[in-house]
Amino acid sequence: MTQVHRRPIRIDIAVCTYRRAELDQTLLSLAVLSVPTGAIIRIIIADNDVTPSARGRVDAMRSAVPFEIVYVHCPASNISIARNACLDHASGDFLAFIDDDETASEDWLTEMLIMADTTGADAVLGPVQAVYANVAPAWMQRGDFHSTLPVWVAGEILTGYTCNVLLRRGAPSLAGRRFNIALGRSGGEDTEFFTHMHKAGGRIAYAADALVYEPVPNTRASVSWLSKRRYRMGQTHGRMLLEARGGFGRWRAIALAGTKSAYCFAAAALLSASPIKRHRYGLRGIMHAGVVSGLFGVREIEQYGNLEKAPQ
């Protein structure tokens, strides 16, 4: 009887980086991943700085990582350019994205692959657990305002994020798909990417045990940062609603988002004695205000690039 040998699964792990020393810890966490038998792992580092500032850091880490590392310089300060460089250099059956300030749990990749195999989904999302420093406000830590999870609508995930995701590269919904360069400094490029992927027939699954950890720096442990982020998220959603609706439908969406925003702000005022509930409703009100802004055609505010430079 002839024995059938399955072709090894090839997996690329993409890390887009911009002047972050935390990249070392990201790579060290990838170095100790549990890898399915026969799987071949390759890491793609996309350096988004004007100069190839991460090259020396990556070269210094090669001896500590048991996988091939491909370094790509893709200037400058536009995360969509870096993400697209990862898509262009990927050659595996799957492509996973993880951020350069995150660390992966040991079973991260295995859990993602199990879910991809079980569901046949085009994309698999995992949770991102925020890790707070002691200087973060107590209400922020208790309410966990920075962790990332997918949003279900009628039992289905309609969009995604790139801070913890596995893509099936051969999926028709991903063929030729790229991140929007125009959103590379504001954020929201991943929301648009996965929304269009889903509309093209792509299915998105969730692997609850495919956990990665993300420290919350002091610059982000503030109401102002959370407010800007929620407002930008709302702008992205509003802009995408505007693309899909016109005429009276647009005005109905504006009225609905405005009503939701007013309701959330009123609830925040009534719940002023509870910091967690007050901020949760307040931030939702800001997000809905962002939706109104997006529906009026206002472009997303820039939140990344030069606005958040991390030390070398």
Of the candidates 13, 2, 302, which has an alpha carbon nearest to the alpha carbon of residue 166?
Answer: 13
User: Same domain, yes or no, for 39 and 166?
Assistant: yes
Let me know if residue 255 belongs to a domain. Answer: yes
Structural domain of residue 57, as residue ranges? 10-220
User: Same domain, yes or no, for 15 and 83?
Assistant: yes
Question: Token pair 């990862």 is at which residue?
Answer: 86
User: Same domain, yes or no, for 266 and 214?
Assistant: no
- Cα separation, 240 vs 11, in Å, equals 31
Q: Considering only the C-alpha atoms of the chain, give the largest distance between any 2 of them, rounded to a whole number of Å.
A: 74
Let me know if residue 4 belongs to a domain. Answer: no
Let me know if residue 173 belongs to a domain. Answer: yes
Domain containing residue 142: CATH number? 3.90.550.10
> Could you read off the pLDDT tens digit of each residue along the chain, which spans 312 residues?
444 446 889 999 999 999 999 999 999 999 999 998 889 999 999 999 999 999 999 999 999 999 999 999 999 889 999 999 999 999 999 999 999 999 999 999 999 999 999 999 999 999 999 999 989 999 999 999 999 999 999 999 999 999 999 999 999 999 999 999 988 988 889 999 999 999 999 999 999 999 999 999 999 999 999 999 999 999 999 999 988 877 788 999 999 999 999 999 999 999 999 999 999 999 999 999 999 999 998 877 665 554 444 433
| 80-116 confidence digits (pLDDT tens) | 999 999 999 999 999 999 999 999 999 999 999 999 9
Let me know if residue 1 belongs to a domain. Answer: no
Rg (CA), the chain: 20
| 66-87 confidence digits (pLDDT tens) | 999 999 999 988 999 999 999 9
Let me know if residue 5 belongs to a domain. Answer: no
Number of domains in the chain: 2
Using a 10 angstrom Cβ sphere, with 0-12 exposed, 13-18 middle and 19 or more buried, the burial of residue 286 is buried
Let me know if residue 131 belongs to a domain. Answer: yes
